[in-house]
Amino acid sequence: MKAPFQLYIDGRFESGAASFESINPASGQGWAQMPEARSDEVNRAVEAAHRALHDPAWAELTASQRGKLLYKLADLLEQAAPELAAIETVDTGKIIRETRSQIAYVAEYYRYYAGVADKIEGQFIPVDKPDMNVWMTREPVGVVAAIVPWNSQLFLSAVKLGPALAAGCTVVLKASEEAPGPLLAFARVLDQVGFPAGVVNVITGFGPECGAVLSSHPKVAHIAFTGGPETAQRIVGNSANNLAKVSLELGGKSPLMVFADADLDSAVNAQLAAVFAASGQSCVAGSRLLLQASIKDRFLERLIEKVKAIRIGDPQDMATEYGPLCTVRQISTIERVVASSLAQGARLLVGGQRLEAVGHFYAPTVLDCSQAPQADSMRIELFGPVLSVDVFHDEQDAIAKANDTDYGLAAGVFTTQLTRAHRLSKALRAGVVWLNTYRAISPLASFGGFGLSGHGREGGLAAVLDYTTTKTVWLRTSDEPMADPFVMR
């Protein structure tokens, strides 16, 4: 665990321009020094990726050979999962039972894209000219800058690296300055796979220098970003320099609706997972609970009872169900918004305060906002363990309230009425709609948002096409010479 963390550039490990301390959120103490990439390191990483893109060692591999490398990466990742999970837990505070199972499942994403690599097909175009054969090929788009936040970072990088490498691109992966340990450790796994030097580079550093230089670099062709909307605006601005394609996976304020006919125990469990898994630090957190008015008291009673029973503690302990937040900054935002929401008329049902003398713990919190539906906590993404509750009276009211957000990442519906479930799946403005479930994911299913939640889709077959660009080839099939254009016939 104490092994030094290094940048991985052009197939070599190096120390970086400077270093910074990473904090263990469970203790609030520094636990490791992380290397910082500044302009020089970022430029060298992009140059290495650009050279590797055209180097025959990578460019002339067949698609199936690229797929085999991805299969190998999946196997090595699976072997390294326990160590990577332990590092993610100490660096981010995410509980060990979540990091272990998530990282083991991430291997399936690499396997999926390994299988896709040799199924990226071109097209024959039946043009309106008899002596022409025209076909379209798909080529790698170029150097990809994959920029990720600190949460679920192995997963968020797999949904970028998997399709990018399957398509034949090369990558500079930038880990967040908050808790970069897991991705820097993942670089050691990448190093064992056998990718030619420069195909994948892993760096970390601060947004204003490392992130800005990377996203505006002239040799970057595609920026695959996951993070907050404000950073996304900066990145879109930076992309004016390189005119790179940009895909954005941003935040959310996702609703979970429960109708009176629903299986309430199932919905209570889903709501617990929706907002308290990962201590609420999840882009798809179901942070707005919309209850049909007639079941409000019954539902909240069962929910609060379960919230009070959540086992809070050491994130490295397999018995722990709920750990600290990654950053103190996040706690300050939550404290501020909970206070303003209470002042606006929300009612505190449980939680609402920091816990423990040490570490970044904040209690699982439920606010009844039914008398203050415009309270800040109903609108602002908190990226933390705060659930805001409102009521609805009928289906149209539920839809209007669910869609009353600038975001549109996910939505959950609990009902036993099949026809209603279908109607809601159409009416909800969200990139993912879960009916009688929540948080389900698969490498085969695409994922992404509407509105402020971004654009572009990750996961699924179509995602690989985002990392390609097309080339149209015209072949004249006639043996007759081309006519002289200046001779009148």
Q: Which residues lie near ligand NAD (CB under 6 A)? A: 147-151, 156, 174, 176-178, 207-208, 211-212, 215, 226-228, 231, 234-235, 238, 249-252, 283, 381, 383, 409, 449
Q: Which residue among 41, 98, 177, 249 is the active-site one?
A: 249
Dist. CA 435–CA 301, nearest whole Å: 23
With tokens 């399957």, the residue in question is: 166
**Pairing mode, strands 365-368 and 361-362:** unpaired
Tell the smallest beta-carbon distance from residue 277 to ligand NAD (Å): 13
Q: Whose Cβ is closer to ligand NAD: residue 174's or residue 360's?
A: 174
Taking the least distance from each CB to ligand NAD, the nearer of 73 and 326 is 326
DSSP per-residue string spanning 381-450: ---SSEEEEEEESSHHHHHHHHT-SS--SEEEEE-S-HHHHHHHHHH---SEEEES--S---TTS-B--S
**In angstroms, rounded to a whole number, what is the distance separating the alpha carbons of residues 330 and 326?**
8
Contacts of 349 (CB under 8 A, 6+ apart): 300, 304, 366, 367, 368, 389
Q: Which is nearer to ligand NAD, 170 or 247 (CB)?
A: 247
> Smaller CB distance to ligand NAD: residue 254 or 292?
254
How many Cα neighbours within 13 Å face the side chain of 489?
Answer: 3
Q: How far is the CB of 134 from ligand NAD (least distance, A)?
A: 38
Pair of tokens at residue 231: 């950073």
DSSP element (H, E) containing 266 = helix 264-276
Q: Which of these, 163, 249, 200, 157, lies nearest to 468 by C-alpha position?
A: 163
Q: How far is the CB of 180 from ligand NAD (least distance, A)?
A: 8
> Which CB, 151 or 468, lies closer to ligand NAD?
151
Classify residue 309 by burial, with Cβ atoms within 10 Å: 0-12, 13-18, 19+. Answer: exposed
Q: How far is the CB of 345 from ligand NAD (least distance, A)?
A: 26
CA atoms within 13 A on the CB side of 169: 32
For 288, 340, 347, 348, the CA distances from 343, given in Å and listed in that order, are 19, 5, 9, 11
Helix (H, G, I), strand (E, B) or coil at 171: strand
In the complex, minimum distance from the CB of residue 231 to ligand NAD, in angstroms, rounded to a whole number: 3
**227: closest CA among 178, 158, 163, 283?**
283
Residue 403 beta carbon to ligand NAD: minimum distance, rounded to whole angstroms = 18
CA distance 161 to 146: 8
Q: Which tokens go with 21?
A: 């301390």
Q: Is 326 a catalytic residue?
A: no
> By C-alpha distance, which of 389, 413, 403, 390 is closest to 450?
403
Shortest Å, Cβ 45 to ligand NAD: 14
**Which of 169, 283, 326, 369 does the annotation list as catalytic?**
283
**414's tokens:** 């609990």
- Nearest approach in angstroms of CB 177 to ligand NAD is 5
Catalytic residue list contains 249: yes
Q: Which is nearer to ligand NAD, 36 or 78 (CB)?
A: 36
- Identity of the residue, 7 or 156, whose beta carbon is nearer to ligand NAD in the bound complex: 156
**Tokens 């469970």 correspond to what residue?**
26
Which C-beta is closer to ligand NAD: that of 198 or that of 251? 251
Active site residues: 249, 283
